[in-house]
Amino acid sequence: MESQKEKFEKLYQEVYKDLYRFALCIVRDASEAEDAVSEGVLIAYEKFHQLRDIGSFRSWIFTIVSNECKRSLKRRKKVVSNAMNLVQEQEGKEVNYDLPIDVRNALMTLPQDERAIIGFSVFGGYNSVQIGEMMGLNASTVRSKRSRGLQKLGPLLQ
């Protein structure tokens, strides 16, 4: 007899590629899509015992991932809003925007959330807890996104 874990794994194996493709179409950012799928799968796994009809697993898990994608898009909007507020607060203060062109161009290749996190961290001096509060993210998520962003920048700045 299959355990709940084995049932979930078997059903998940049938849909995981489609879940990622779906999330990527919604959020249009690979790392955000990965995060949305990861969060959605975790929620689905925790609530798997509540699923009454195994035949509806696919639509059920897609609904969960869709909700995570919507949350991701809301967070992205909040990031833009917070960044705009920060810029408005800085008006009147002398700010040096003279970054070398290659650094500026490299930063522009990053997804908006990673670019904001690196900007807050490197240029603003904020720590991951502070950035998380500003962006409505968990501090560990901020650290992982910052790390991913810096890894992407490395080859571009060599």
Per-position pLDDT tens, the chain of length 158: 788 899 999 999 998 988 888 887 677 788 888 999 999 999 999 999 999 999 889 888 988 988 898 888 888 777 656 665 655 555 444 444 444 566 667 777 888 788 778 777 776 667 888 778 777 889 899 889 988 888 887 787 76
The CATH code of the domain that includes 131 is: 1.10.10.10
pLDDT above 90 coverage of the chain, percent: 23
- Is 101 found in the same domain as 146? yes
For residue 128, what pLDDT is reported? 86
Query: What values do phi and psi take at 57, rounded to 5?
Result: -55, -45
pTM: 0.53
- Is 57 found in the same domain as 7? yes
Range(s) of the domain holding residue 36: 1-73
For residue 39, what pLDDT is reported? 93
Rounded distance, CA 149 to CA 111, Å?
Answer: 8
Sign of CA dihedral 24, 27, 28, 31: negative
Give the pLDDT confidence of 73-89 residue by residue, as tens digits: 888 777 656 665 655 55
Q: What is the mean pLDDT of the chain?
A: 80
For residue 141, what pLDDT is reported? 92
